[in-house]
Amino acid sequence: MCGWGGGGGGGGGGGTAPLTFDTAANVGDVVTITVDSVTANMIYANDQASIIFPFSPSTGGEPTDNTCATLTRKFFMSETEVTNALMVKVLQWAYDNDKFSTTVGDPNGLNSTTVKHGGKQLLDLSNGDMKISYNTETNKFSVTAGYEDHPVVCVTWYGVIMFCNWLTEMRDGNTANVVYTNIDTTWEHEETGIDDNKTGYRLPSSEEWEYAARYIGTTEPTEENLASEYVARGLREGHETLTEGYYWTPGNYASGAIKENNPFNLNETRLVGWCKGDPGMGEGGDKLMPVGLKRVNQLGLYDMSGNVWELCSNLVTEGNSRVKRGGSWKYDDQNMSVGVGYTESPTFCSNNIGFRFARTQ
């Protein structure tokens, strides 16, 4: 069976003039946004009104290639995971625009250890792995020197949602395109309203995330094992209803890899993502790394596999949790497979969970 809903796929890259979200026309086009002094690239991930692709619908199970999902929304995906530098700019804007109360007991309370909204913790500033701090004397957020380009971690699902809403309001100058609503002083995540048709910044759905991780394009792959193991319509467990003319990464590969995830191909996996035991992490062993150091995947996205787990928007009613995808620096390579997903409580935060953001065209 095929179902679900979301985004799409297509052709080539950008022109000489800077592209905007409205003028991007081909998969791979890059739109650059500026947030105060920080820039971030967004990749046009889908230029089709509808596309059917292989999707592993279960969480915590083995990746599969014989089930599928349909995406019906054109969308962009951030080129990298959200960095500390970008998060600080959005948090500072939120403070400067009265989104916080310095009475820490308030639903939107803020101090040197607590950042709340709607009564929910957004970030854990007291965690030793958190490289963002808030100074109660200067009322300024800052990043520990040298960690500006590391993914933000120790952030909850609630924190990610407020980042997206505040980034939208910050850049648009109003709340007309804010995606997430029903956020009150006693915020419960399952009550959150989500309108993915709006053009504000948002989390990708699990379907959009897997599409972007699996996407190869309309040219048949010719490299290494991928040349004989890619998935397509009616080919190697590819569903008969997959959109014809597109090629997809097998579910047991890392995103952008050209060999399967297994001990014999671990070096290939490590070309595209940071996972446990990577010698490139240097002295001290396993640790979080800056974004964008590994090879991009076929869409031009960095770190879709590894470095940090990436939160998605999807609510899993069993367990009342949210989906995370992609594996991390703290886990072995098997968790980096594009068809693997797990769930997490929206209040949970960790030194190996972060996110990237999306935007509907």
**Interval 16-32: pLDDT, tens:** 678 999 999 999 999 99
Kindly state the percentage of the chain with pLDDT values over 90.
Answer: 90
Distance CA 203, CA 314 (A): 9
**Interval 273-324: pLDDT, tens:** 999 999 999 988 899 999 999 999 999 999 999 999 999 999 999 899 999 9
Kindly indicate the confidence band of residue 2, based on its pLDDT and cuts at 50, 70 and 90.
very low
- Degrees, nearest 5: CA angle 289-290-293: 95
Instruction: Please give the average per-residue pLDDT across 207-232, as a whole number.
Output: 97
* 3-state percent breakdown (helix, strand, coil) of the chain, nearest 5: 15, 25, 60
Judged by average pLDDT, the poorest of 37-41, 79-83, 280-284, 344-348 is 280-284
Rounded to the nearest 10°, the torsion over CA 131, 273, 300, 338 is -110
3-state secondary structure of 151: strand
**Interval 303-317: pLDDT, tens:** 999 999 999 999 999
Please provide the average confidence, as pLDDT, over all residues in the chain.
94
Contact 245, 220 (CB under 8 A): no
Alpha-carbon torsion (198, 206, 253, 220), positive or negative: negative
**Interval 125-176: pLDDT, tens:** 999 999 999 999 999 999 999 999 999 999 999 999 999 999 999 999 999 9
- DSSP category for residue 19: P
Contact 64, 251 (CB under 8 A): yes
Q: State the pLDDT at residue 264.
A: 80
Instruction: Please give the average per-residue pLDDT across 190-207, as a whole number.
Output: 98
Rg (CA), the chain: 20
pTM over 0.85: yes
Q: State the pLDDT at residue 10.
A: 39
Backbone angles phi, psi at 273, to 5 degrees: -160, 150
